[in-house]
Amino acid sequence: MAVRHLSRKAFGLRTVSLIPGDGVGPELSSAVKDVFQHMNVPVEFDEQNITGSNDSYEAAKTSLRTHRVGLKGIISTSASLAEPRSLNVQLRKDLGLFANLVRCRTMQGVKTRHKDVDMVIIRENTEGEYSGLEHESVPGVVESLKVVTAEGAHRIAKFAFETASRLNRRKVTTVHKANIMKLADGFFLQSCRDVAKDYPLIEFEDMIVDNCCMQLASRPQQFDVLVMGNLYGNIISNLGAGLVGGAGVIPGVNMGEDIVLFEPGARHRGHELAGKNTANPAGMLLTSASMLRHLRLDEYAEQIENVVNGLLMESQFHTPDLGGNSGTSDFVDALKTRL
């Protein structure tokens, strides 16, 4: 029996916050809503558009605190000094979404330089260089602060090993630059070493971030679970996405103590693709499937994952980022037909 024929009431209706974001975010969010409606998924969306105003930001934050589960596109962040904060970063900090998890794995039908890549990248989301603590101490001198706390480092290390254990992964690699940043990264590394002692069945290693990038480019199959600070995680998750097909196929999630926010793994808003019907919806659809698994709606999640992966195996459904000519709507229509 097809999942879409099941009653929504049989599963209990869930309410989820939806933040479409900018660039291709609204198109990808519409694709998810279209597929959910077609399948009769027992989820309703509390849609919140963050427009840049404080009121819209606060409304989105309140929605997430109320429903505790969200699906999000990427919000634009300008490099201009007139826009001093990233709302993506601010939202993660305000809601305590301390862990970002991105799975990068090669998929059948998607051409890549490497085969048999399957790694989980875990990024500390709220501390480090990427948290935006900057000021101009005197004219012509800018200080950008990197803050690492015992609580934050231990928490993300614990999360990484717990994730490895839950997913039956064999190895955790801590990525750092402790040879130069001996205090900050040294502190992070030591926290991971301390936590590793509690998981004797999981192999532990550490690797300097520049070497890690080289190893990822040359032999990514050696990696299993990687854990790192905020800035390194931003770089390596994008490198990982590039290894397995690009930003359009990678799902991701941000996790806190009691709120979970799902968003594409590579965090690209795709501004240049907006409105052209060329964005790859696979990553956002796989992200939505991960959200359904979190909601214990595994039947719906499995069907979406199976059909998305099946379409990626057929070149006629590849969008331009994968070297094809299919449009966003073509992919979604084919998915709905096969469901």
Q: Which residue has the tokens 């963050």?
A: 50
Average confidence (pLDDT) over 4-14: 60
* CA distances from residue 288 to 204, 240, 262, 284 in whole angstroms, order as listed: 32, 20, 7, 6
259 against 12, higher pLDDT: 259
Q: Which two tokens stand for residue 235?
A: 């770089």
Q: Cβ(250)–Cβ(308) under 8 Å?
A: no
Residues of the chain with pLDDT > 70, as a percent, come to: 94
Write the pLDDT tens digit of every residue in 222-281. 999 999 999 999 999 999 999 999 999 999 999 999 999 999 988 767 778 888 999 999
End-to-end CA distance of the chain: 11
266 against 113, higher pLDDT: 113
Average confidence (pLDDT) over 42-71: 93
Calculate the CA dihedral of residues 331, 332, 335, 336 and round it to 10 degrees. -150
Q: Return the CA Rg of the chain.
A: 20
Check the CA dihedral 292-293-294-295 and report its sign.
Answer: positive
Q: Is the predicted pLDDT of residue 182 greater than 60, yes or no? A: yes
| Residue 77 pLDDT | 63
Q: Cβ(221)–Cβ(84) under 8 Å?
A: no
Average confidence (pLDDT) over 18-43: 95
* CA distances from residue 209 to 102, 123, 232 in whole angstroms, order as listed: 17, 13, 7
Q: Cβ(40)–Cβ(309) under 8 Å?
A: no
| Residue 5 pLDDT | 44
* Domains with residue ranges and CATH for the chain: 1-101+247-339 (3.40.718.10), 112-244 (3.40.718.10)
Angle, helices 298-312 vs 282-294, to 10°: value is 160
Q: Is the predicted pLDDT of residue 53 greater than 80, yes or no? A: no
Contacts of 289 (CB under 8 A, 6+ apart): 251, 300, 301, 302, 304, 305, 308
Q: Which residue has the tokens 């693709």?
A: 273
Q: Is the predicted pLDDT of residue 1 greater than 50, yes or no? A: no
Which residues lie across from 206 on neighbouring strands? 174
Considering the entire predicted model, what is its pTM? 0.91
- What confidence category does residue 78 fall into, taking pLDDT thresholds of 50, 70 and 90? low
